[in-house]
Amino acid sequence: MNIILIGYRCTGKTAVGRLLAELSGRPFFDTDELICRRAEKTIAGIVAAGGWPAFRKEERSVIEEVSRREGVVIATGGGAVLDPVNVQCLKENGRIIWLVASADTIRKRMGDDAAGGKNRPSLSGEPLDEEVRKTLAQREPLYRRSADLVVNTDDIVVEEVAAVICSAIPETFICPRSSSSFMKPS
């Protein structure tokens, strides 16, 4: 059984996924990283060359491939849920966790991640505040419909998110440490 992390940009999918994989000894796959490696371009480069449809086509191919694996942690791109085939492939062999954050938190994290922002092209060409709010509103029903578990990442650190996930789905994901060892010291 795979553990799949979905959610908007900057909700913690990659950081949480890497930690869950490290703690459990499972392989970790970030679909955006796999797409870029395969295309030998950044996401911005793929979008510049072929538009978002070219990126989504590569995304579907990567998701179909990685979702066939067993016992892995997968962090998807924020728009992976736009394609019902992606969701179907991921659900066939996994539990989907939706990492949620408010629009304000997302914008702050995007601002703090200057290097990553260069690889995250605009989805709409609108100002960032407007784009985040509109895109969250459009995708929220898709995230909700896809998710087996929802974890809000606004006010908790990566270790706490991992602890919530491990304790919520122990039947498919046994972390080697107790959840208390994940907690950041006060």
pLDDT at 182 over 80: no
pLDDT of amino acid 110: 87
122 inside domain:
yes
Q: Which two tokens stand for residue 20?
A: 């869950």
Q: How confident is the model at residue 39 (pLDDT cuts 50, 70, 90)?
A: very high
Q: Which two tokens stand for residue 43?
A: 């996401």
182 inside domain:
no
pLDDT at 149 over 60: yes
pLDDT at 101 over 60: yes
pLDDT of amino acid 177: 46
Number of structural domains found in the chain: 1
pLDDT of amino acid 72: 95
* CB 79 within 8 Å of CB 138: no
pLDDT of amino acid 184: 34
85 inside domain:
yes
93 inside domain:
yes
**Type and span of the H or E element at 19:** helix 13-24
| Separation of CA 94 from chain center | 14
122: helix, strand or coil: coil
Q: Is 113 exposed, middle or buried (0-12, 13-18, 19+ CB in 10 A)?
A: middle
185 inside domain:
no
pLDDT of amino acid 167: 87
* CB 6 within 8 Å of CB 101: no
150: helix, strand or coil: strand
186 inside domain:
no
What is the residue range of 48's domain? 2-176
List for the chain the helix, strand, coil content (%; round to 5). 55, 10, 30
184 inside domain:
no
183 inside domain:
no
* CB 110 within 8 Å of CB 117: yes
pLDDT of amino acid 120: 63
151: helix, strand or coil: strand
Domain containing residue 157: CATH number: 3.40.50.300
